[in-house]
Every structure is written in structure tokens, then in C-alpha cells.
Amino acid sequence: MAQETKEKIVGEAMRLFAVKGYGATSIADILQASGANSGSLYYFFPTKQDLLLEVLRRYQAGIADMLLAPAWEGLSDPIEKVFALLAAYRHMLVATDCTYGCPIGSLALEIHEPDPPVRALLAENFEGWVLAVEACYRDAAARLPPDIDRHALSIFTLTIMEGAVMQARTHRNLLAYDASIAMLRDHVARLEAAAKNSTDYQNQGDLT
């Protein structure tokens, strides 16, 4: 069946791009892994870049079901959801002996050419991630100081995840990852404490 062949190609491309990178994955690698033939692949994807674009669209479309839902299963506390997401990347690192973490981040630094369509999809993937985390911080409502920018805090969270994954991959251990996430925990805890104090002051004010 045609759809099956296409799915197999895209699935193996997703896997191989994540494991070996885009440049280091040859079309021959994808053909061998998927069991498809050259003619079939080029029937669906005229160029290798078209296949990359499809892979990035899949990541984008799958962020809720493939990434967030499994990470957030059984959780309701919005702040815990943020750290559960970061724990999901930690699991990915553990499961691969710190060989890879975030496929989008790896591709983002590998693609050096302008490649506007590729870069736009990488950016959209980042934006989807940031928006999901931002929703958590918004749900945390009064637990955070009202004057801190939730969008900026979400960007900061992505920044830390990507930088921490990079170091884990380089050192092949989780020390820098854990230290970085612990620092973010500390920062969020300080924000919560600051919000609580100002609320206490406010309540004090109401009582006078």
C-alpha cells in the first residue's frame, strides 16, 4: 500500500535524522532501514530537503500527542508539568546513554545554510514548545509574581533544556543537565516565594 511505504520512509527518516543527524544520514540509509526503493522515495519526496520538511511537520504536529501527553500523564499541577517535560528529555538521554536529546535542537544547529522553509519549521517547533510551557505558567496563575513575563520565562525554560541537553551529549553524562534543571527549579521556587510574600503583604493590608 502506498501510504504504508510513505509512512515507513518518513518514520525511518525521523529516527535516523535524530540519531545520526541530517547530513550524516544518506538516502541509502533511509532506503535500507525502511525497505523502500529509491524510486518510491523520490516519488513521494523529490529532494532530500522535502523529506526533512515532512519530518519537521510531523514533529510539529505530534508535539501534543507524542511529547506532552506521555510526559504529563496523571499530572495536574502546572509547575510540575513543566518539570515533567524536562524529565522526559532526561529519560531520553538516559535511554540513549546521552547520545541524543532534542532532535529539533540538533537539527537547528546542524543546518547552517539559510534554508528559509527549513528554518521556519524549526522555529515553529520551538514556538509550539514554548507556547505549551507558557500555558503551564499561566495556569500557575497567582503562584508566580504578576510582573514576571510568562512568555519570557517559557523561552528561558526552552533555552535551559536545549543548553543542558547539549552538555549532557558532549560530556556523555547527566551532571550538567541535572545541575541546570536544579537551578531552574531554584529560580521558580524563588519566584513562587516572592509571589507568596507579596500576596501575604496584600492580605495583611486587607486586614488592617
Partner DNA sequence: GTCTATAACCCGATAGAC
Partner DNA sequence: GTCTATCGGGTTATAGAC
Interface residues with a copy of itself (CB under 8 A)? Answer: 19-21, 23-24, 99-100, 105-106, 108-110, 112-113, 119, 122-123, 126, 148-149, 151-153, 155-156, 158-164, 166-167, 169-172, 175-176, 179-180, 182-184, 186-187, 190, 194
Q: How far is the CB of 104 from DNA (least distance, A)?
A: 20
Q: Name the one residue in this structure whose C-alpha cell is 520512509.
A: 9
207 near DNA, judged by CB under 7 A: no
d(CA 3, CA 154): 37
Listed in sequence order, the residues at least 6 apart from 181 whose beta carbon sits closer than 8 Å to its beta carbon are 83, 86, 90, 160, 164
Q: How far apart are the C-alpha atoms of 81 and 200, rounded to whole Å? A: 26
Cβ distance to a copy of itself smaller for residue 17 or 72: 17
Q: Evaluate whether 119 touches 61 at the Cβ level (below 8 Å).
A: no
Considering only residues 31 to 70 of the shown chain, the ones binding DNA according to CB under 7 A are: 36-40, 42-44, 46-49
Q: How many residues bind DNA (CB under 7 A)?
A: 23
**For residue 75, what are the contacts with CB-CB under 8 A and spacing of at least 6?**
81, 84
Residues that bind DNA (CB under 7 A): 1-6, 25-29, 36-40, 42-44, 46-49
